[in-house]
Amino acid sequence: GDSVTQTEGQVTVSESKSLIINCTYSATSIGYPNLFWYVRYPGEGLQLLLKVITAGQKGSSRGFEATYNKEATSFHLQKASVQESDSAVYYCALSDMGGRALIFGTGTTVSVSP
């Protein structure tokens, strides 16, 4: 079936250091997956961070980047220098071109320490 696997649990990183959250997907019934990163900041609702719908392209937002690697079936999220305000829960997700419901990974909690 279709699924998303991402870095599990909690990641702690010091401010100004780099961050990478791994995400790989399996899309056996989806020919052309669309890939997303959603984020939930403390006290806020889940919101879209970035999306990429074309293989080989890169999405970016708020200093984060993710490249859609179809060969590796990956969509890792990276930031070169994190800030305390990046502390949040990050979810990798996929959908299809028809726009059906999202399939989410289990989420990665990022804590940035000063």
Partner 1 sequence: DAGVTQTPRHEVAEKGQTIILKCEPVSGHNDLFWYRQTKIQGLELLSYFRSKSLMEDGGAFKDRFKAEMLNSSFSTLKIQPTEPKDSAVYLCASRSGTDYEQYFGPGTRLTVL
Site for partner 1 in 82-101 (CB under 8 A): 91, 95, 99-101
| Closest separation in Å from C-beta 29 to partner 1 | 12
Which positions ≥6 away from 103 have C-beta within 8 Å? 2, 3, 4, 93, 94, 95
Q: How many chain residues touch partner 1 (CB under 8 A)?
A: 20
If one asks whether residue 30 binds partner 1 (CB under 8 A), the answer comes out as no
| Closest separation in Å from C-beta 114 to partner 1 | 27
If one asks whether residue 53 binds partner 1 (CB under 8 A), the answer comes out as yes
| Closest separation in Å from C-beta 45 to partner 1 | 5
CA dihedral 3, 79, 89, 75 (to 10 degrees): -10
Note whether 1 and 70 are within 8 A (CB).
Answer: no
Structure tokens at 1: 């079936």
- C-alpha–C-alpha distance, residues 31 and 29, integer Å: 6
| Closest separation in Å from C-beta 52 to partner 1 | 10
Binding region for partner 1 (CB under 8 A): 34, 36, 38, 45-48, 51, 53, 91, 95, 99-107
